Structures are given as structure tokens and as C-alpha cells.
Structure 1
């Protein structure tokens, strides 16, 4: 049996560029993630850091099995669950119905679904809102429901993507405390995406810094957090125009050549 929970080997994820009207922008595509390789052992708690648009959520979706990769390979040992705002929730259904549907999709029997329903009720503290359509929920309430369902389903690998960035701080602390128990007592593997460096330092053992779709650094949490903080401070110290220029240059490096244009250029070049 493998000692690692996740093994990623030179994976890339490519998306098509769209304009402001959500239409495809010619034939241009870009790397949301490019050539990532890493191994995470079972029981590790990995804090994923990176500025907006760096590819953190894309990686979360891939680790959760929601999104496919375009290049490379990935091995995951164990059942995984993504905990993110709205993810996996049907907004037309009530909170209770969402629990039942999730359990049924996983092949749980009626008694097991009843058990996890009670567990969600106890942890989420949603009161009568559990019986209201999710479309009436605030973002914090959706986070409570999604987090509580995932905890009740008890997967081997948790992927927590900014799920604690909304709602009240009391519930966020309750979730962190519970995950610490999972980390310390049950050896769960956890990927933790957060903009809060202090949260990541407090909770995680290993740091992973992704920038511009590439893995910049992975290792001791304190070391990675220090290097990432230094980078963010330097970026924020720039004048707005300088910062925008640098970010645009970094994004352009991720754009693939226009495939149609490249094809016709090769065709004409051969005449």
C-alpha cells in the first residue's frame, strides 16, 4: 500500500481565454497550472499559498477529482472531498435534501444518511434554515452546510478552499479546532487554501506556494510562508502601474500561441 496520499507528476491544466462577454477569445489558451510535480504523504497538512489567479482553486478542483488535467499524471490514494463555498450544493434543494442527495450519490444506506444528517444538524447550527432552499442562504451559511456535510462524510483527504473566509469567526474557529483533531488524532490528509498566512502557519505542517500557475516552493511551513510574505510585500510596495505591468507580463507568459495562427504560419512557411 502506498505511503503517500497524492502524487502529482508534471501536471498542467489549460483553459480557453474568454472576453468580458464570456465568449471565447480567438483561439488563445493559457496555462492555469503548468508542469507541477509533488508528493504528499498520508497525514500531512499542506497549506497552499498564492496570489489571486495563481491557480490555487484550479489545483483544489483537480485534487478533488472535479476537474481533469491536460498533461501529466496524478495518483490519489483515498476518498477526497472539496470544501468550498457553493461546491457540490444544489441551490434549488433545501439543506436537508442536499445532505440526502450527497449521501445517496456515495451509495450510503438510509440509516447512514440519517446518521450523517444528524451530524450535520449538530455541527452546522443552521436551525430551521436547514429546511429552506439553499438559494436563500448567505455565503457563510452555504459554507457551514458544505463544511459540515464533508466532515460528516469523513473522507481520507480534505481539500479546504477558502471555506473559512466567509461567515462568523466563531464558526471558523470551530472548524479549525475540529480539523486539528482530524490532523492530530486521525491522521487525515488535508490541503488548506487560505489568504490568511497566520491561519496557514497555525494549522499546516507543509507549505506549497503556487505563483503564475507554477510551483514556486514546497517545504517547511514557516520557510515557505516567510518567502511568500516577502514576495507579497515587495509586490504591494510597487506603484499601481508597475504592479499591473508585472502581473500582465506574468500572465502573458502563461498564454499559449494562437493555434490557428501557428497552423497557417507553418502551412505558408512550407509553400
Structure 2
């Protein structure tokens, strides 16, 4: 019997408008942050998401978390999601404690449940008196601690970790991984976005590689890591001129051409603040 899917992407695309400087900037350029992405993730799968900088990983994570909308295709997500990323969902003007209460209220939690979350977050984040200080005074590591602690105490079905363990001290990172392994044992669906191949290999079962906004591969984690590592190494071997030409060619493939007018209109509406 096949496992029920937690996440299904069917020909999903996300378009952004590139901002140009100057009065004579010319026609606007639209590019695919993600282009025609399709995959099915069974419940309980632990997926390592790989890709070089600017490949579309963070766009994917924000879509998975329900923070960002799509421009074409369909998505089906079964379960509550939580995005764990540096500074994700935190209000810099509020204190750490106020951020916890705000997050709980926005999710419609009862006062009793919010209090339970507060105790759990404070205990896990280990921020001491800083929990009563504005988040704007936090270091990136402290923000990551708070964001991670809030998200895991919400006990979501689907967890998206976007480079959240790349900052802060080693001890806290190990503590986070211990909790993530517990979630893994509980059968939660996890997307783990990281540049650390060794960490991805140890933690994940499957690999999802996105490059230039397009899906390159979805397969067993070690196979995907090997292919991605070879791709990165090949890029390292290029001269600076070759790298520049290669990246230009890769970007040109992302430029939107012959797109339907309705699609562009939706993008323009978003830029203007419409619905």
C-alpha cells in the first residue's frame, strides 16, 4: 500500500519582477523563481533540499509554509506546516515573549495553549533575560534560537527548516538536531534546506535538488548529494570568465518569455499590493 502524500506540487511556477534602477530602466523583466516544479512527498519523508545560492530554495520553503503564493500549477498540502528560518515570522519591534504570544494568537490558540508554548519556548531557546528584550537587539543566532523554539513547540505535521541551523553555537545546533530526530521518529514530514552536505546525508532519506529555479532531481539522498557535489565542483573548476558566462546563460533560461497576459497581470497586481 502506497503512503499518503503530505505534499504534492504539480507544475508549480513562481514569477518575480526584477527591479531596475534609473529613469531609463526600460521594460520590466520577469523571471522564474521556480519553473514547472512537480514532486510528491509521502508523509513521514525527510527530504534534503539542495541547490546553489539563488536557485529557488527559499522561495520553495516560503511556498511550502504557505507564506508565498504561486503563479501557476497546483499544490496540495496535508497537515499543519511550520517554517523554521532565521528571523522568520519575528517582529523586530516586539520582545521575544511578545513574539511567542503573537504567534500563538495568530494561529488561534487558546490562552492555556499559548502559556504552554511560552514555557516550552523559553526553556528550549535558552535566551535568559533576553526573552524580555526587543528582537531587534538579538544576534542572528539568538533569532534563530527563538524562531526554532517557537516552531517546534507548535508541534506541526510538516516542518520546513531553511538554513536555521547554520548560525549560533554548536551545542544548540546539536540540541536542535536531537529534537528534529525525535520528530523524525514520530513520522513527521521534514524539509531540510542546508548547504552542509554531511548534515543532509546524515539526517535525510531523500534529496530534492533545485537549480536555476528548475527541478534537477528527486531521489535517494546519497545519490542526489553525489550529483549535486559533482555539479558544484565542476563550477569551482571554471575560470571567472567561464563562471560569469555560465551564470548569465542560467539566468537567461529563467527570464519569462511568451507568458500568458493573465499571469503577468497577476504578478503586477501583487507588486501594486492588490489581491
**Structure 2 length normalisation: TM-score?**
0.90
Note the residue ranges of structure 1 that are not aligned, 5 or more in a row: 260-271
Separation of aligned partners in 2, 1:239 and 1:51: 18
Counterpart in the other structure of 1:171: 172
Separation of aligned partners in 1, 2:27 and 2:147: 37
Q: Which runs of 4+ in 1 moved over 2 A?
A: 23-27
Whether 2:271 is the aligned partner of 1:247: answer: no
* Equivalent residues of 1:7, 1:38 under 8 A apart: yes
CA deviation profile, 1:4-57 (whole Å, cap 9, x unmatched): 100110000000011368x98632100000000000000000000000010000
Whether 2:116 is the aligned partner of 1:115: answer: yes
**What pairs with 1:1-271 in structure 2 (closer than 5 Å)?**
3-19=4-20, 26-184=27-185, 186-257=186-257
RMSD over equivalenced CA pairs, Å: 1.6
* Equivalent residues of 1:18, 1:25 under 8 A apart: no
Report the number of matched residues: 256
Counterpart in the other structure of 2:270: none
Separation of aligned partners in 2, 1:208 and 1:52: 15
Separation of aligned partners in 2, 1:162 and 1:25: 36
CA deviation profile, 1:170-229 (whole Å, cap 9, x unmatched): 111110111011101x11100010010111001000000000100000010000000000
Change (3 A) 1:25 1:231: farther
Shift of 1:160: 0.4
Shift of 1:257: 3.7
Equivalent position SS for 1:26:
coil
* Equivalent residues of 1:16, 1:25 under 8 A apart: no
Note the residue ranges of structure 2 that are not aligned, 5 or more in a row: 260-275
* Equivalent residues of 1:27, 1:258 under 8 A apart: no
* Equivalent residues of 1:9, 1:36 under 8 A apart: yes
